[in-house]
Amino acid sequence: MNTGKASLLILYTGGTIGMVQDPVTGALKPFRFDNILEEVPELKKFGYNLSSYAFDPPIDSSDMKPEVWIKMAEIIETNYSRFDGFIILHGTDTMAYSASALSFMLENLQKPVIFTGSQLPLGSLRTDGKENLISSVEIAAAVKNGKPVIPEVGIFFENSLYRGNRTSKNNVEDFNAFISGNYPTLAESGVHIRFNFSAVEYPEQDLPLIVHKNLDTRIAILKLFPGLNQSVVEAVIQAAGLRALIIETFGAGNAPSDTWFISCMKEAVDRGIIVINITQCLIGSVSMGTYETSRRLADAGVTGGSDMTLEAAVTKLMFLLGNYSDRETVKTLMKKSIRGEITD
């Protein structure tokens, strides 16, 4: 795969990968990313033009928020014509949310935006960070017939490249920390990097990048469990200013058949709240009407979220609510794939 003299921007937002151990105190501290080639000298062998930008101070993954997504998108927007691809170093806990958010915010994206990170600091002897970073750089630089091989937002972790809005973190112990339960990998790294071209979404037209910066966070998530209390559900749907509610249901989209629960969902819908049904399972899809319990949700006006991840559903709602005022338009688009987040 031809990579040429690619120009890439490495954006460090925070997270374990950007840490080194102080040899005296043993404490972890961020290293200077303008010295990235000193920390990872293997990158020099590629011969790429590598630039870096580091958030100061670095942002812990747990502190990630839409304002930071907007800053990431603006950095890409500002540097879009200067670089062939972008690597975003990010903490693992909310990486799938950030990758999903940017997939919706970056319309007409035609260059790779690859998120990666690590379970162990880059300065650790057993770190997985070097391999993740080196492979992400090689993937971001890869071209075929003069065009990027991966013109979309992805997550690379432990030998696999996933579509960003199809990914969830599912492991805090292993180096293989992510899963893409409903969509195949975009690439696999072994002796060679093997690209799954049929799984990549290629642009049909050469259109300019549009960066969407309006995100509406007036949403809530209600995870169902046996014994869920009516007063809790009522408190959630009555939250001031709430525009959308995601209910994490059982299996193929099933929920309690109690009259009070269905009534609460109907009340929310009647009040103009968009209610989206997402399964708690990491693999599989919501199928409204397959069982009586999900059919009653559909009758109450709940919208099925198909096989979207929770991370994709959350960020897609923020994006749609921030850009469309009409409730029916948002509901219609939540059921359609706009960035490859739903299986057609």
Q: How far apart are CA 152 and CA 164, in angstroms?
A: 8
Same domain for 138 and 281, yes or no, is: no
User: Which residue carries 């709602």 as its tokens?
Assistant: 317
Same domain for 121 and 196, yes or no, is: yes
Same domain for 235 and 274, yes or no, is: yes
Residue 272: CATH number of its domain? 3.40.50.40
% of the chain with per-residue pLDDT over 90: 70
Same domain for 62 and 195, yes or no, is: yes
Residue 23 has pLDDT above 80, yes or no: no
- For the chain, what is the total number of helices (H) and then of strands (E)? 9, 20
Same domain for 251 and 323, yes or no, is: yes
Same domain for 269 and 160, yes or no, is: no
Residue 115 has pLDDT above 70, yes or no: yes
What are 63's two structure tokens?
A: 């502190």
pLDDT, tens digit (0-9, with 9 covering 90-100), for 158-204: 899 999 999 999 888 777 888 999 999 999 998 889 999 999 999 98
Domain-terminating residue out of 211, 240, 257: 211
**Domain of 164, in residue numbers:** 7-211
Q: How far apart are CA 280 and CA 102, in angstroms?
A: 23
**Which pLDDT band, with edges at 50, 70 and 90, does 42 fall under?**
confident
Asked if the structure places residue 343 within a domain, the reply is: no
> What pLDDT is stored for residue 14 in this prediction?
85
Tell me whether residue 92 is one of the annotated catalytic residues: no
Asked if the structure places residue 342 within a domain, the reply is: no
Same domain for 240 and 202, yes or no, is: no
Q: What is the pTM assigned to this prediction?
A: 0.93
Beta-sheet strands, E only, within the chain: 7-12, 19-21, 28-30, 49-54, 85-89, 106-107, 113-116, 143-144, 147-148, 153-157, 160-163, 168-169, 178-179, 187-189, 193-195, 210-211, 219-223, 244-249, 274-279, 303-304
> What pLDDT is stored for residue 217 in this prediction?
97
Asked if the structure places residue 14 within a domain, the reply is: yes
Same domain for 113 and 184, yes or no, is: yes
Same domain for 318 and 193, yes or no, is: no
Asked if the structure places residue 312 within a domain, the reply is: yes
pLDDT, tens digit (0-9, with 9 covering 90-100), for 252-285: 999 988 999 999 999 999 999 999 999 999 999 9
Cβ–Cβ under 8 Å, residues 160 and 95 = no
Asked if the structure places residue 86 within a domain, the reply is: yes
Residue from 13, 16, 94, 167 carrying the catalytic annotation: 16
> What pLDDT is stored for residue 168 in this prediction?
95
* Greater pLDDT, 290 or 42: 42
Average pLDDT, the chain: 90
**Which pLDDT band, with edges at 50, 70 and 90, does 33 fall under?**
low
> What pLDDT is stored for residue 313 in this prediction?
98
Domain-terminating residue out of 182, 211, 240: 211
Asked if the structure places residue 67 within a domain, the reply is: yes
Same domain for 56 and 180, yes or no, is: yes
Q: How far apart are CA 184 and CA 192, in angstroms?
A: 18
State phi, psi for 86 to the nearest 5 degrees.
Answer: -135, 135
Asked if the structure places residue 340 within a domain, the reply is: no
> What pLDDT is stored for residue 34 in this prediction?
62
pLDDT, tens digit (0-9, with 9 covering 90-100), for 58-75: 888 899 999 999 999 999
> What pLDDT is stored for residue 210 in this prediction?
97
Number of domains in the chain: 2
Q: How far apart are CA 93 and CA 90, in angstroms?
A: 9
Asked if the structure places residue 80 within a domain, the reply is: yes
Same domain for 34 and 155, yes or no, is: yes
Domain-terminating residue out of 211, 234, 258: 211
Using CB atoms within 10 Å of the CB of residue 174, give its burial: 0 to 12 exposed, 13 to 18 middle, 19+ buried.
Answer: exposed
Residue 133: CATH number of its domain? 3.40.50.1170
150 sits in the region (left: phi over 0; alpha: psi -120 to 50; else beta) called beta
Same domain for 32 and 101, yes or no, is: yes
